Structure 1
Amino acid sequence: MRNQLLWRSAHAIERALGPQAARRTARLAGAVEGLSDTGVHRIALRISPRLARQNPHLVKVSPRWAVDSVRVRRQGLRLELDLRDNLQAVLYYAGRYEPAVRRFLLSELRQGDVVLDVGANIGLHALTAARRLRKLGGGRVIAFEPAEDCVAKLLAAADSNNLQVEVIAAALGEREYYAALRADSRYDEADAGVRSLYGDGAVVQEVRVIRLDDWGRSLDRLDMVKLDVEGSEIAALTGGAQTLRRLRPRALLVEDKRSESSARLHAVLDELGYRPTGDVLDHNALFRPR
Structure 2
Amino acid sequence: MPSLRVLGHAFRAWRRNRTWAKHEPETPYLADLLSGAPVCLHVGASDGRHSYVMTQVAPKARIYAFEPSAFAFEVLKVSIAWHRIGKQVTAIHAAVADKPGELLLVTPKKTSGRMGRAYAYVAETRPNGQARPDLDDTGMDVQPTPVVTLDGFCAEHGIDRVDFIRMDIEGAELKALEGALKILDRDLPHVLLEIHPIMLQARFGASGEAVLQVFEKLGYRMFALNGDRLEERTTLVDGLPWKDYFFIHPTRAARLPDGVFKARMAA
Mark yes or no: TM-score above 0.5.
yes
Give unpaired runs (5+ residues) of structure 2.
132-138, 202-206, 231-241, 251-267
Name the CA shift for 1:252/1:67 in 2 (closer, same or farther; >3 Å): closer
Q: Is residue 129 from structure 1 mapped to residue 54 from structure 2 by the alignment?
A: yes
* Structure 2 partner of 1:286: 246
* Structure 2 partner of 1:104: 29
Q: Which string of whole-angstrom CA distances, capped at 9 and with x for unpartnered residues, describes residues 229-282 of structure 1?
A: 000000000011011111221x11111242552111111222344231354689
Structure 1 residue 185: Cα displacement: 4.8
- Between the two structures, name the one with larger relative contact order (CA 8 Å, sep ≥ 6): 2
**What root-mean-square deviation, in Å, do the aligned CA atoms of Structure 1 and Structure 2 show?**
2.6
Structure of larger gyration radius: 1
Equivalent positions of 1:189-204 (< 5 A) are 190-198=115-123, 200=131, 201-204=139-142
Q: Is residue 142 from structure 1 mapped to residue 64 from structure 2 by the alignment?
A: yes
Equivalent positions of 1:1-290 (< 5 A) are 69=8, 71-72=11-12, 73-76=15-18, 95-98=21-24, 100-134=25-59, 138-163=60-85, 164-186=88-110, 188=113, 190-198=115-123, 200=131, 201-217=139-155, 218-249=158-189, 251-258=190-197, 260=201, 261-279=207-225, 283-290=243-250
Taking every aligned residue pair, what percent have the same amino acid on both sides? 26
Give the secondary structure class of the aligned counterpart of 2:121: coil
Give unpaired runs (5+ residues) of structure 1.
1-65, 78-90
What is the number of equivalent residue pairs in this alignment? 204
Q: Which string of whole-angstrom CA distances, capped at 9 and with x for unpartnered residues, describes residues 206-235 of structure 1?
A: 001111111112212211111110000000
TM-score (norm 1): 0.63
Q: Which string of whole-angstrom CA distances, capped at 9 and with x for unpartnered residues, describes residues 55-87 of structure 1?
A: xxxxxxxxxxx999263422327xxxxxxxxxx
Q: Is the 8 A contact 1:248 1:289 kept in 2?
A: yes
Q: Is the 8 A contact 1:173 1:235 kept in 2?
A: yes
Q: Is the 8 A contact 1:256 1:262 kept in 2?
A: yes
Q: Which amino acid aligns with 1:283?
A: K
* Structure 2 partner of 1:23: none
Structure 1 residue 131: Cα displacement: 2.9
Q: Is the 8 A contact 2:161 2:187 kept in 1?
A: yes
Q: Which moved more, 1:239-248 or 1:269-278?
A: 269-278
